[in-house]
Amino acid sequence: MTKKTSIIGIALAVLCVVGMTYVFTAPYVRFPGVRLGGELTAAPTDWSGINGETTARLKLAGFPPFVIHVWYVGTPNGVITATRPDNGYWGNRVRSSPDGWLRIGDSSYAMRAEEIVGDARIAYLEQYGGKYNMPMRYDFDGEIIPGTNEPLHTWEVFFWTPR
């Protein structure tokens, strides 16, 4: 075996190990993954009881596989998620293919999203902001949503229901 072939073989082996580690350990909080995990579970009749976790994992339909951590709020009829109005990847992907899976704790649910638009978003965002202690708007006394420049009342809202 030549030295060049040996180096290529080692590089491929390292790449495989890194790839497999990523598939089975991701998603990280700020880095998307590909594996949702959890046990596919029948939808509850009231989603309000799922609010004990801080984040959920959201797997979007389509290719490539894409799993992210999201903040969420369970309501009697479904689950609220929101994202900054920054033309982000996951929001656009949900618009093009609204099916997905939501994992909360060890349970995974087959879901479908509906984007809530216009003033109808405000009631959803008030619930979302209430769970995470996020103010709805800037004020001139310095009230700012930590970690972002957009006031919550401008965010995009997706409401997830079982499919």
Rounded-to-integer distance, Cα 70 and Cα 156, Å: 13
> In angstroms, what CA-CA distances link 156 with 50, 80, 84?
22, 11, 6
Structure confidence by residue, pLDDT tens digits, 134-152: 877 654 455 554 555 567 8
- Length of the chain, in residues: 163
Residues 106/38, Cβ–Cβ less than 8 Å? yes
* Beta-carbon count within 10 A of 123 CB: 12
Number of helical (H) and strand (E) elements in the chain, helices listed first:
3, 8
Q: Which of 81-90, 93-102, 130-139 has the highest mean pLDDT?
A: 93-102
Residue 88's pLDDT is 85
- Architecture (CATH level 2) of domain 32-162: Roll (2.30)
Give the SS3 label for residue 70: strand
* Beta-carbon count within 10 A of 76 CB: 10
Percentage of the residues of the chain whose pLDDT score is greater than 70: 80
Give the SS3 label for residue 32: coil
